[in-house]
């Protein structure tokens, strides 16, 4: 695969995108592209043409390999000039027929290996730049603290376009284990796959764990399980207890991470019962500081911003120096690593034993079913329909999703009796995980003293 890519995309550092379901292509491309000296851009298969067009144009991708149905869903203007589209089946056949091999790699470990696109609280998705070192040490770190072995079998249910999902592959392979990729339709499919393949490692996000704990797990599916890992949102005490009951022989690893630094903390499974709401401590190769508003390291039980330092820190946002400067800043003087650090925007506390606890988010990001959703992206899609004059997207607490997208809109003069068309239009333009759970129509929006839409007032109203 790498040799074929090098022959067809000879420019080192060029971007190659994939947009397909889990399988041979999407699992192996992260290694093949990096081996060829290229930069892999995995696109979430749930995205639709507008988001894909943005990612292709922003990354400057020279090649897109995608399933035939997904290529057919793109409009003529979605694929930028200079980007070659290749159908997945044709690519796999070409890889298999390509006999040339590559010599030893001469790649700089600090050169880019991947760009992962993640939504921000404002604006379109931004590309997080990850080096060979970032991905390699992330695999070493996770395989180490999970104590993975060569006979481990990981069920890859998470999207491979997420850092959490990609690391399912890398950490398992680093330990010599194997991965079973699964795109499931129903939670029961996960249980069946665990039984069929003898799964020992299962990684998921809280909304999926909620669904999985509602199943009756067979002994074949649960008894062989060695470890469960969680990220993408905090586990509740009730959910922790349910997982321990369903998987009594498995070790539960609650974790915290952000794409800009991959993974930051994990909680030792031995402490889960006594400290179920803790984020734990730093993973190997990560230095986690809690910095107060005065710029100094916070005292125990004092709230501050989580700052991640060390070699897992990404290289910033692709072609976006302004947003890079907002999040990637010089490490605090207390850091033993120095260099650039990720200032997460998340508020945390550290207790006397060094355990971290999440307090809250500083930005307006919506986290639904493990997906990070930009409110402005949903709002822009609503405004583009011409049916609304104003739009505000909010994340409202939801038992199953963590947060559900609620859209508050003021109709435009053209809307008249076409309100039902808004949901239909959004279903065509936004992926499923971005769809509003509920649309609230208002004749007027509440305003704050500055004359801006009062998001806080709307949040309070909808959260009642």
Is 120 contained in some domain? Answer: no
Domain count, the chain: 3
User: What region does 342 belong to: left with phi over 0, alpha with psi -120 to 50, or beta?
Assistant: beta
Is 121 contained in some domain? Answer: no
H-only helix segments in 159-312: 163-174, 187-197, 206-213, 219-222, 237-246
Instruction: Identify the domain containing residue 355 by its residue range.
Output: 130-361
Is 379 contained in some domain? Answer: yes
pLDDT, residue 451, reads 60
- 445 and 353 share one domain: no
pLDDT, residue 120, reads 54
- 207 and 338 share one domain: yes
The mean pLDDT of the chain is: 93
Q: What is the separation, in whole angstroms, between the first and last Cα of the chain? A: 54
- 47 and 103 share one domain: yes
Low-confidence residues of the chain, pLDDT below 50?
A: 121
DSSP code at position 297 = B
- CATH code (residue 29): 3.40.50.980
Which of 107, 142, 169 is a domain's end point? 107
- 54 and 153 share one domain: no
Which of 361, 392, 420 is a domain's end point? 361
- 301 and 279 share one domain: yes
For residue 196 the two structure tokens come to: 């069929």
- 347 and 370 share one domain: no
- 396 and 448 share one domain: yes
Which of 361, 383, 418 is a domain's end point? 361
């Amino acid at each position: 695969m790498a040799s074929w890519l090098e022959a067809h995309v000879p420019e080192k550092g060029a971007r190659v995108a994939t947009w397909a379901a889990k399988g041979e292509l999407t699992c192996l491309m992260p290694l093949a592209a990096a081996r060829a000296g290229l930069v892999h851009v995995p696109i979430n298969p749930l995205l639709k043409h507008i988001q894909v067009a943005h990612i292709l144009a922003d990354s400057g991708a020279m090649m897109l390999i995608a399933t035939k149905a997904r290529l057919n869903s793109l409009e003529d203007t979605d694929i930028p000039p200079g980007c070659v589209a290749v159908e997945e089946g044709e690519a796999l056949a070409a890889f298999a027929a390509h006999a040339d091999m590559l010599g030893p790699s001469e790649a700089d470990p600090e050169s880019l290996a991947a760009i992962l696109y993640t939504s921000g609280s404002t604006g379109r998705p931004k590309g997080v730049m990850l080096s060979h070192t970032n991905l390699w040490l992330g695999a070493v770190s996770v395989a180490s603290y999970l104590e993975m072995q060569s006979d481990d079998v990981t069920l890859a249910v998470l999207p491979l376009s997420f850092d959490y999902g990609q690391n399912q592959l890398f950490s398992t392979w680093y330990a010599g284990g194997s991965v079973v990729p699964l795109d499931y339709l129903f939670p029961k499919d996960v249980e069946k796959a665990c039984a069929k393949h003898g799964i020992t490692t299962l990684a998921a996000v809280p909304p999926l764990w909620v669904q999985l704990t509602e199943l009756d797990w067979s002994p074949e599916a649960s008894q062989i399980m060695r470890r469960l890992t969680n990220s993408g949102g905090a586990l509740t005490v009730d959910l922790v207890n349910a997982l321990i009951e369903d998987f009594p022989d498995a070790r539960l690893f609650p974790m915290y991470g952000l794409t800009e630094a991959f993974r930051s903390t994990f909680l030792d499974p031995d402490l889960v019962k006594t400290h179920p709401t803790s984020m734990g401590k730093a993973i190997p190769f990560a230095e986690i500081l809690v910095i107060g508003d005065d710029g100094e390291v916070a005292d125990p039980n004092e709230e501050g911003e989580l700052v991640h330092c060390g070699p897992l820190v990404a290289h910033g946002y692709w072609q976006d120096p302004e947003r890079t400067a907002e999040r990637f800043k010089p490490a605090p003087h207390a850091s033993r690593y120095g260099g650039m650090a990720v200032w997460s925007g998340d508020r945390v506390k550290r207790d006397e034993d060094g355990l971290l606890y999440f307090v809250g988010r500083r930005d307006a990001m919506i986290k639904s079913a493990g997906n990070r959703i930009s409110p402005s992206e949903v709002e822009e899609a609503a405004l583009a329909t011409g049916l609304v004059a104003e739009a505000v997207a909010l994340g409202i607490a939801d038992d199953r999703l963590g947060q559900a997208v609620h859209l508050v809109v003021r109709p435009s003069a053209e809307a008249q009796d076409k309100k039902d068309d808004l949901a239909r239009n959004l279903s065509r333009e936004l992926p499923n995980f971005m769809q509003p759970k509920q649309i609230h129509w208002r004749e007027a929006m509440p305003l704050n003293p500055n004359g801006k839409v009062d998001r806080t007032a709307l949040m309070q109203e909808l959260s009642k």
